[in-house]
Amino acid sequence: MTVATPTFDLVVAANRLPLDRVVDDSGESSWRRSPGGLVTAMESVMQGRDAAWVGWAGEPGPAPEPFSDSGMYLQPVCLSPTEIQEYYEGFSNDTLWPIFHDVIVPATFHRNWWNTYRTVNHRFAQAIAQTAAPGATVWVHDYQLQLVPAMVRAMRPDVRIGWFNHIPFPPVELFAQLPWRRALLEGLLGADFLGFQRTADAENFLRACRRLLGMATKADTVTFTPPGDDPSARRTVRASAIPISVDFRALDELARTPVVIARAAQIRASLGDPKILLLGIDRLDYTKGIRHRLKAYEELLGDKAIAPPDVTLMQVATPSRERVDAYRHLREEVERTVGSINGEYSDIGSPAVFYLYQTYPRDEMAAMFLAADVMLVTPLRDGMNLIAKEYVACRHDLGGALVLSEFAGAWHELHQAFICNPHDVEGLKQTIMRAITAPQDERRRRMKALRKRVSDHDVQRWATRYLDALASAPARPHRPTRASDEERRGAERANRSNRRALDKASERTGQR
C-alpha cells in the first residue's frame, strides 16, 4: 500500500538526518547516530515534538522509506554517489567550509559542484514543501542548504521560514571570493529570520548584503527587494545571534549515573592513574587546532614542564569527511606527530599520548569528560564548539578545568574558562600549565560559574528563543484565503488518516 506523505506544523531540514543508515559487509543495514554538533543539539530539541526532519540518511543511492523515531517523522532525501562527491564533499566541504572558517586551508571552486549544490538544495526544498502543513514553520539548518529558504518560499509562500547557521559567517572580504556569492545571499534572504552563533556573524552577513547586493540594512534587519525590483514584493529579513547550547540536564543526569562514574574511574586506571589527565575530543578537522595543541604539548614535554606517567594526554579524533583531501592530509599529519611524540617521550607502559581514531557513544564520552582533569578545546575557528559545553555539563563534581580558544563561539559565553589563542604556542603552553596548576578552589569557582551559564542557557532555551524570534520576525507571509481555509480543513482530515497509516506501516515493517 502506498502511504501519502503526512504533513507537519514544524519541519526541520538539515543535510543529515539524526540517524545514519549503515550497511555492513553482509548487506545487513542498521541505524547509527549521525556525527556532529548540529545533530547533538537538534535531537534533544526535537524529541517529543510533533515534527518532521528532512535530511540525508548518510549513504549513496535511493532514499529509505520515511519512518518515525522517538515520535519524530524522518523524511530521507536521496543523494547519488556523484552528488555526494559534488554537493557534500565538494561544494559544502571543500568550497564553503574553508571560506566560512577563515580559509585555514584554501577553498576549491568548481562550477559543476555549484550546479549539483543547486540541484540537491532544490530536492530538499521539494521534500520540505511536501511535508509542511499549511502555514507551517520550516527551520532550515546550516551551510549545506543556503539556497533552500528562497526555493521553499517560491514553492510555498504560506510557510514561515527560518535558517540557522551552526558555523561562523565569514567577513565579506572572504565571502566575496565565492563566484556564487549573490545567489547564496539571495537564497538565504528567502527566510523570514536568520539565526547566527555570534553577533559578529550576523553583522558579517548584513555587511555582505549591503556591499554585495547594495541592500539597505538597519540595526539587525535587511530590506530585501527580490530580482525584478517589484516594491510590493519587498520584505524585511531579520538576522541576529542566538547561540546554540547543549541539553544540560540530560548530560548532568547521565554523568551522575553510577555506571558513568565507575567507567570514568576505570578509564583513569587503564591510563595508569595519571596525576593529571589532559583530554581532547574533536572531529578530525583542520579547524579544531589539533596540530597546534599537539605542538604545545610536545614542547611542554621537551621543556620537562610535564612528563608521563604523571601527566598524559588522551586525544580522541572522530573520523570525518575522510574522502576530502584536506582531511586525509590532516589525519596523516596528526598521526605522524602522535607517533613521533610517543617515540620520544613515552616509556614502556606509559605513553605520552593515547590517540583514538574512533567514534564513541554519549555515555562513554560523559565518562571521558568526568575522567579528565583538563579539557583542551583549542579550535582555530569554530561556530560554537559544543564539546566545551558538554564537558561543563558533565562536571557536577566541580572538578576539571576547561582550556578554551578565543576563536570558538563558546568563548563569548564561557569567560571563566582558561582562555587561549591557539596560534600563540607559547601562550597556549602557559595557559595549559595554568590550568594544570590552578588551586582547587579556583578551579571549582570557575567550574561553578561555567555550569551556571550553560544550565541557564541550555538547548531548550535556545530552541524556544529561536522559534519565538522566527514567529515574531517582521516579514509578512502570504495570508491563506477563505478558500484555502476550507482546503486546509480537508487537508488536515486527510493528514490524520495518512499518519495513522504511516504509523501502522512503520510498526509492520519494524522500522525504527
Q: What is the DSSP letter of 5?
A: P
Compare residues 166 and 293 and give the one whose CB is closer to ligand G6P: 166
CB 353 within 8 A of CB 313: yes
SS3 of residue 376 by DSSP: strand
Q: Would you count residue 321 as binding ligand G6P (CB under 6 A)?
A: yes
Q: Would you count residue 244 as binding ligand G6P (CB under 6 A)?
A: no
Q: And the C-alpha cell for 69?
A: 523515531
The residue range among 34-42, 286-294, 327-335, 448-456 that interacts with ligand G6P, by the rule CB under 6 A, is 34-42
Compare residues 13 and 161 and give the one whose CB is closer to ligand G6P: 13
Rounded to whole angstroms, the Cα distance separating 301 from 312 reads 10
In angstroms, what is the minimal distance from the CB of 302 to ligand G6P?
A: 33
> Which of 122, 119, 99 shows the shortest CA–CA distance to 109?
99
Q: Would you count residue 16 as binding ligand G6P (CB under 6 A)?
A: yes
Rounded to whole angstroms, the Cα distance separating 92 from 84 reads 10
The residue range among 33-41, 290-298, 309-317, 387-395 that interacts with ligand G6P, by the rule CB under 6 A, is 33-41
Residue nearest to ligand G6P (CB): 36
In angstroms, what is the minimal distance from the CB of 52 to ligand G6P?
A: 18
In angstroms, what is the minimal distance from the CB of 37 to ligand G6P?
A: 4
- The H or E element that residue 77 is part of is strand 72-77
With the CA atoms of 160, 166, 172 and 178 taken in that order, what torsion angle do they form, in degrees rounded to the nearest 10? -90
Binding residue (CB under 6 A) for ligand G6P from 133, 148, 167, 254: 167
In angstroms, what is the minimal distance from the CB of 319 to ligand G6P?
A: 9
> Which of 231, 161, 157, 114 shows the shortest CA–CA distance to 12?
161
Compare residues 318 and 506 and give the one whose CB is closer to ligand G6P: 318
The residue range among 35-43, 111-119, 125-133, 226-234 that interacts with ligand G6P, by the rule CB under 6 A, is 35-43
Return the exposure string of 51-66: e unless at least 16 CB atoms fall within 10 Å of the residue's CB, then b: bbbbbbbbbeeebbeb
Q: Would you count residue 277 as binding ligand G6P (CB under 6 A)?
A: no
State the DSSP string of 240-284: EE------HHHHHHHHHSHHHHHHHHHHHHHTT--SEEEEEEEES
Compare residues 14 and 366 and give the one whose CB is closer to ligand G6P: 14
In angstroms, what is the minimal distance from the CB of 129 to ligand G6P?
A: 22
Return residues touching ligand G6P (CB under 6 A): 15-16, 35-38, 142, 166-167, 320-321
